[in-house]
Amino acid sequence: MKLFDGLKKLKEGLSKTRENIVSKISEVVTRKAQIDENTLDELEEILIGGDLGTSLSEKLIANTKSALFKEQDRSVDRVKEILKDELTKLIAPRNGFSVDTPKENAVKIKIILVIGVNGSGKTTTIGKLAYKFINEGKKVIIGSADTFRAAANDQLKTWVNRAGADLIEDISKDPSAVVYETIQKAKADNYDLVLIDTAGRLHNNKNLMLELNKINGVIGNLIPGAPDESFLVVDGNSGQNAIKQYEEFSKYSKLSGIIITKLDGTAKGGSVLQIAAEKNIPIRFIGLGEGIEDLQEFNPSEFVNALFS
């Protein structure tokens, strides 16, 4: 996706969230003769109502207050600029992600485990990830470890074909057996990247959650230190429930990043920022549409600028 098209898509995708947060901020600041404590309290209420959560909203307003009271210029534009700067600092990723980062062990294959609840967009996201990495010149294979639902496996096959990746799947087998077979083939045939699809599960289904432990064990036995990444896919419409999903999944898998889907159709995009700031975990990618190219790497500065544009 070209940079200009990507930025345009991002701005369009955040239109509902922008209306829910930034437009209300502009209204409050514009009708005030001066920015005082009451104004900042109103702004904090808007942020909390926009799914940024109490903790992040309080930090953002406190940081904004500290910066603003050193300023002579307290115009609408300046207040928004300070909010943008402080928000970007709070959600900046803690570490970058690259398939090309050298590994400490002798096995060059990168393993990415993808998890999430049913309906989060997990399977389509795997297809989009595969497409992205294949277009970067990587040899990609996908393991269909969702052996509980034939329909999910069929959906994955459709996306794999579109992406041009290879697939290991067998719904008659245990999920861990599919993972084992996938990694063995990846090692034998010199793949660069393995994407593991897992069963969509409710975060309160303990038996299915424990299956993640088993899958992680198989991966670690075959390649010490793997998986290299464990991505949790979260629907952008889930709002505050996204935090609960993160908390529960992190009990069973060491999460290294979040992928937020369906941001183009939600006014609850603030939850994206809340996860990044409060849980100290980076957002890796965001989904802004149904197309195979509609998955963008998350850039905090670009995201905040698009939100406030």
Residue 97's pLDDT band, with cuts at 50, 70 and 90, is low
Cis amide leading into 227 (omega within 30): yes
Q: How many domains does the chain have?
A: 2
Are 123 and 74 members of one domain?
A: no
Dist. CA 66–CA 69, nearest whole Å:
6
Tell me, yes or no, whether 126 lies in a domain.
yes
pLDDT grade for 252, boundaries at 50, 70 and 90: confident
Q: What's the CA gap between 249 and 204, in Å, rounded?
A: 9
pLDDT more than 70, % of the chain: 91
Task: Return the half-sphere exposure (C-beta side, CA atoms, 13 A cut-off) of residue 9.
Answer: 20
The residue among 138 and 208 whose pLDDT is bigger is 138
Confidence at residue 188, expressed as pLDDT on a 0 to 100 scale: 96
Residue 151 lies in a domain: yes
Is 258 within 8 Å of 122 (Cβ atoms)?
no
Would you give the DSSP letter of residue 192?
A: S
Distances (CA, A) of 271 to 1, 57, 89, 100, 308: 25, 11, 16, 30, 16
Last residue of a domain, one of 58, 91, 124: 91
Same domain for 123 and 247, yes or no, is yes
- Is there a contact between 103 and 220 (Cβ–Cβ < 8 Å)? no
Last residue of a domain, one of 32, 58, 91: 91
Are 244 and 213 in the same domain? Answer: yes
Res. 177 pLDDT band, cuts 50 70 90: very high
Question: Is 99 contained in some domain?
Answer: no
Within this chain, do residues 34 and 152 fall inside the same structural domain, yes or no? no
Residue-range definition of the domain harbouring residue 76? 3-91
Nearest to 98 by CA among 135, 133, 142: 133
Q: For residue 242, what are its two tokens? A: 């996204």
Indicate whether 180 and 219 sit together in one domain: yes
Q: Which of 56, 91, 126 is the last residue of a domain?
A: 91
Count of CB atoms within 10 A of residue 133's CB? 20
Residue 132: Cβ within 10 Å count: 20
| 80 and 139 within one domain | no
pLDDT surpassing 60 at residue 2: no
**Within 13 Å and on the Cβ side, how many CA atoms surround 157?**
11
Is 213 part of a structural domain of the chain?
Answer: yes
Domain of 47, CATH number, reads 1.20.120.140
Mean per-residue pLDDT, 19-27: 88
Q: Are residues 135 and 40 in the same domain?
A: no
What percentage of the chain reaches a pLDDT higher than 90? Answer: 40
Structural domain includes residue 120? yes
Map residue 60 onto helix, strand or coil: helix
Decide if 98 is inside a domain: no
Spell out the residues 6+ positions from residue 139 whose beta carbon is closer than 8 angstroms to its own: 190, 191, 192, 193
